Structure 1
Amino acid sequence: MDSGSPGNRRPRSGPLPDLDAVVVGAGVVGLAAARALALRGHETIVLERHRRFGAQTSSRSSEVIHAGLYYPQGSLKARACVEGREALYRYCEARGVPHRRLGKLVTAAGPAQLARLDAIAQRAAANGVSDLRRLDAGEVARLEPELRSAGALLSPSTGIVDSHALMQAYDADLTTAGGQVVYGTEVLGIERAGPEGFLLRIRDEAGVSEVSAARLVLAAGLVSNAFAEALEAMAERPYRAPRTRFARGRYMALDARAPFSRLVYPVPEPGGLGIHLTLDMAGRARFGPDVEWIETIDYGLGAPPTERFEAAIRSYWPDLPAGRLRPDYAGIRPKIVGPGEPDADFAIHGPAEHGLPGLVALFGIESPGLTASLALADLVAARLAEDR
């Protein structure tokens, strides 16, 4: 990253002034929410403890624009994904953010999995995904000759995006609208500041100080637990904040050119979408993620899971070259459920949940959070207006 880029600005020194709106966390959803508030006329500051945006979950994903196939009908994940997907494509086109609508194949490894494709197709249709196509084995072979498949679903609306460029665009829009991201600034605690407003204790290079905000958005991702008890203590009604758990997923890169022009996913497995093939904007192939529950934030790759990845990949690409996978990176999903529990919906808690006007807290914003970022930002802005 260039030293002059928005992701590397030095933190502002000295005490911050009292503010209209503060967003805690400069991940993709925090930046999108701050942008939405600033465009609505709110003086908006983002406080980010790292020295760049998207330092955790947002910069360690598959960078996939999801179509909305898998999520339960009526869930916030389903609604925000379908709405956010089209908004994201329009935004990327208008702002020149690198992206590509490649399409995705969800492939059945054998006849026994074909019924699961039918279930995915039914759920996708219920979610408003109208362009999904069912393919037989011959049709799959004509599209992707190297893929072994008993049949597949083709999702033309699935794509990829340069997540760094997307966050950079959100940050630029925020700045143009009069807002700012303040890096190297950690929020140590929050409390009420009168009937409407919040006092934040912060630490930056100048030391510890306080700032008040009329509106507060907590988009803290993996460190949301740091604010859970404070929210419960401030709440105007009985309230239990979700607790965040960590599910690490490792990716492996292919040290060769992959013979695929689309993303390739197996049918989903408990806890994730399986070891799937994605492509980045340069055409580089990567596989993952796996699922490993951990107690603390740790991006270490550990012993390479090469044999397990190779076995999973060869279920749909039998000609994967031996010895061509290498460890790439790891991401961590901020889960609000534990191992073996059904996936949870996005949790966006506003005054209706905790009774605090002007405060919205986001929990469990994992995939498809990047896809849904613009839709979630609009929802955050709407929820901030509740009870005002």
Structure 2
Amino acid sequence: MSHDFDTIIVGAGVVGLAVARLMAATGRSVLVVDRQDGIGRETSSRNSEVIHAGIYYPKGSRKARFCTRGRRMLYAYAAERGIPHAKCGKLIIATNDDETGVLDSLQERGRANDVEGLHLIGREAVARLEPDVTAVAALVSPETGVVDSHAFMLALQGDASNAGAEFIFHAPVTGGAVLDGGGYALHIGGIHDTTVSCRELIVSAGLGTNPFLEAVSGLSPRAIRPMYFAKGHYFRLAERSPFQRLVYPVPVKGGLGTHVTVDLGKQARFGPDVCWIDGLDYQFDESRRDAFFQSIRRWYPAIRLDALVPDYTGIRPKLVPAGQPDGDFEIDGVDRHGHEGLVVLYGIESPGLTSSLAIAEATFGLMEPAARAAE
């Protein structure tokens, strides 16, 4: 059975772009569709732009494996392509003696995940590295960094386009079907109003994953997982950053604590917090400022309330509800849902940016057996 494209990728965030780059490089005809007006308009552009080392995640989990491998791949790719980035390092701090045990556990977990260079320091060493930070101890992560996420995504899009991939935006998928002869048909609405077919379908739609899958007839119920949404607020510091590296408190449920990142322009930004929401709502709740202030002043006592300026919000696609341990990345292939040529990516939140190139590798690996069988 002939199809319009070998592969359609739904979602032009950082992971969808990384997948498109790999798939197009094999000579496949690839179409990337996104409901937004350009690349990376949702989760991929509403985050801290951190290159994570791989410390926090259970040994053997996809988050642990893909973060460590993805970090190394991302640094190499950024250097090769001239993408702005900096390996600035990070301190995970204990603000009291009760929290020092958490640092020990994080160091042990990070080393189990093959994270290089982790070491513990005391109060005086923290003060030398970050004079404005008050902490009794810290875990130093020299491999943590920041990247210009938009430049990274533009490079991925460029690679995919140069290999022949096509992109269409303002392209909501309003319906679709599993085809009897194999493959998938998608109806694209908006300004396009057309139907296209493919042999392989990769769903990297982030927050829009379930509405998309629900619009495709003939899919097994096992193709759809429950999703939950956690909104995070970011406040920027309305003065010169006193920090030379990233500073994180010990983790909290649902996130990594209200931390500070310093971007490539030396702008300090605090967040995100964790607010569980029922739908996609990016509205900024300025009343969160007081909670931010109280949390930050525990380790940055010089912070002023009026120096915290609302910046933006982001929404993380979660696979578990509030109060549960974080879920893993899920890359659902035929073994999960029974459909040849279909891969659905779920729960791609932090460290998704760092892990994107490794996630793309794993997705590509699931597609290769199906591609060989179709030859």
TM-score with structure 2 setting the length: 0.95
Residue number in structure 2 paired with 1:354: 337
Residue number in structure 1 paired with 2:94: 108
Amino acid at match of 1:126: A
Q: 1:300 aligns with which of 266, 283, 306?
A: 283
Q: 2:293 aligns with which of 305, 310, 313?
A: 310
Contact in 2 for aligned 1:24/1:218 (Cα 8 Å)? yes
Give the C-alpha shift of residue 258 in structure 1: 1.8
Contact in 1 for aligned 2:176/2:186 (Cα 8 Å)? yes
Give the C-alpha shift of residue 195 in structure 1: 4.1
* Distance in 1 of aligned mates of 2:243 and 2:80: 28
Residue number in structure 2 paired with 1:12: none
Residue number in structure 2 paired with 1:327: 310
For structure 2, the 5+ residue unaligned runs are: none
* Distance in 1 of aligned mates of 2:86 and 2:350: 18
* Distance in 2 of aligned mates of 1:306 and 1:227: 35
Residue number in structure 2 paired with 1:256: 239
Identity %: 46
Describe how 1:117-266 pairs up with structure 2 within 5 A.
117-207=103-193, 209-229=194-214, 233-235=218-220, 239=222, 241-266=224-249
Distance 1:278 1:127, change over 3 A: same
Give the C-alpha shift of residue 145 in structure 1: 1.2
Residue number in structure 2 paired with 1:50: 36
Distance 1:67 1:152, change over 3 A: same
Residue number in structure 2 paired with 1:10: none
Contact in 1 for aligned 2:29/2:164 (Cα 8 Å)? yes
* Distance in 2 of aligned mates of 1:201 and 1:133: 53
Residue number in structure 2 paired with 1:343: 326
Q: Secondary structure at the match of 1:239?
A: helix
| RMSD of equivalent CA atoms | 1.4
Distance 1:33 1:147, change over 3 A: same
* Distance in 2 of aligned mates of 1:303 and 1:145: 29
Amino acid at match of 2:272: P
* Distance in 2 of aligned mates of 1:195 and 1:137: 66
Contact in 2 for aligned 1:148/1:317 (Cα 8 Å)? yes
TM-score with structure 1 setting the length: 0.92
Give the C-alpha shift of residue 231 in structure 1: 7.0
Distance 1:231 1:199, change over 3 A: closer
Equivalent residues, number: 369
Amino acid at match of 2:325: P
* Distance in 1 of aligned mates of 2:267 and 2:192: 42
Residue number in structure 1 paired with 2:51: 65
Distance 1:136 1:231, change over 3 A: farther
Give the C-alpha shift of residue 240 in structure 1: 5.4
Q: 1:273-292, CA deviations, whole angstroms, 9 ceiling, x for partnerless residues?
A: 11100011100000000111
* Distance in 1 of aligned mates of 2:215 and 2:366: 20
Distance 1:232 1:182, change over 3 A: closer
Give the C-alpha shift of residue 196 in structure 1: 2.5
* Distance in 1 of aligned mates of 2:44 and 2:82: 19
Give the C-alpha shift of residue 356 in structure 1: 1.2
* Distance in 2 of aligned mates of 1:345 and 1:384: 21
* Distance in 2 of aligned mates of 1:167 and 1:177: 15
Residue number in structure 2 paired with 1:5: none
Amino acid at match of 2:167: V
* Distance in 1 of aligned mates of 2:243 and 2:222: 49
Residue 115 (structure 2) pairs with residue 99 (structure 1): no
For structure 1, the 5+ residue unaligned runs are: 1-16
Contact in 1 for aligned 2:68/2:115 (Cα 8 Å)? yes
Give the C-alpha shift of residue 295 in structure 1: 1.2
Give the C-alpha shift of residue 247 in structure 1: 0.6
Structure with greater helix share of residues: 2
Contact in 1 for aligned 2:223/2:344 (Cα 8 Å)? no
Residue number in structure 1 paired with 2:263: 280
* Distance in 2 of aligned mates of 1:181 and 1:152: 45
